[in-house]
C-alpha cells in the first residue's frame, strides 16, 4: 500500500514537471517568435484608453506624440516627455509614493525595433524586469502604462 502511494507520488511529480516544461517551452517560444522582427510600430497607452498616447514608428524613425497626458495641475510638467537624444518617453504612472505619482520611463531603439522600460516605481517592478522587448507587450501595473507592438504590412512607401 505504501509502496503504491510512492509510485503514484513519483508519477505526479513527473507529470507536474512535464507540464511545467511544456508550458515553459510554449512561453519561451511565444516570446521568441511573437512578432519577431515584423513590428513596425510600438504604441504606448495610458489607462484604459485605446488611443495610443505616443507611437514609435520603427519604419520612418520617428516618435509621434498623439496627445498630452491628462495629469492634475499639481504636477508641474506636461507629459509625455519625449527625449529624442536619450530616446526615451516619460509618462506619469498611477503608482504613488508618499502621495506623489511616479514616472515611467520607456526607452526605444529604432534599429533593433525594441522597447524597454528603464525606470518605474511599483511593488514588484515587473515591467522593468521584463527587459528589452521586440514583440511582447510590456504592461506596467499599477502604473497603468502599457506598450504594445503593431505591424503595418509595409516597410516603405515610394
Q: Name the residues that contact other proteins, by CB under 8 A.
A: 11, 14, 17-18, 21-22, 24-25, 28-29, 32, 36-38, 60-61, 110-112, 153-158
Instruction: Tell me the three cell numbers of residue 45.
Output: 497607452
For residue 158, the minimal CB distance to other proteins (Å) is 5
Which residue's CB is nearer to other proteins, number 77 or number 112?
Answer: 112
Question: Rounded to an integer, what distance in angstroms lies between the CA atom of residue 56 and that of residue 15?
Answer: 44
For residue 113, the minimal CB distance to other proteins (Å) is 8
For residue 145, the minimal CB distance to other proteins (Å) is 25
Half-sphere exposure for 17 (CA within 13 Å, toward CB): 6
Which residue's CB is nearer to other proteins, number 55 or number 102?
Answer: 55
Which residue's CB is nearer to other proteins, number 32 or number 100?
Answer: 32
Return the C-alpha torsion angle 66, 43, 151, 136, nearest 10: 180
Question: Rounded to an integer, what distance in angstroms lies between the CA atom of residue 100 and that of residue 74?
Answer: 10
Amino acid at each position: 500500500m505504501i509502496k503504491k502511494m510512492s509510485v503514484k507520488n513519483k508519477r505526479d511529480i513527473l507529470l507536474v514537471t512535464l507540464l511545467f516544461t511544456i508550458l515553459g517551452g510554449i512561453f519561451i517560444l511565444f516570446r521568441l517568435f511573437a512578432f519577431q522582427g515584423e513590428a513596425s510600430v510600438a504604441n504606448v497607452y495610458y489607462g484604459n484608453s485605446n488611443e495610443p498616447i505616443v507611437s514609435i514608428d520603427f519604419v520612418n524613425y520617428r516618435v509621434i506624440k498623439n496627445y498630452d497626458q491628462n495629469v492634475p495641475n499639481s504636477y508641474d510638467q506636461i507629459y509625455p516627455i519625449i527625449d529624442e537624444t536619450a530616446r526615451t518617453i516619460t509618462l506619469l504612472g498611477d503608482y504613488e509614493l508618499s502621495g506623489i505619482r511616479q514616472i515611467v520611463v520607456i526607452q526605444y531603439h529604432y534599429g533593433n525595433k525594441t522597447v524597454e522600460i528603464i525606470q518605474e516605481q511599483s511593488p514588484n517592478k515587473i515591467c522593468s524586469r521584463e527587459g528589452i522587448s521586440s514583440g511582447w507587450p510590456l504592461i506596467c501595473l499599477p502604473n497603468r502604462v502599457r506598450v504594445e507592438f503593431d505591424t503595418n504590412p509595409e516597410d516603405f512607401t515610394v
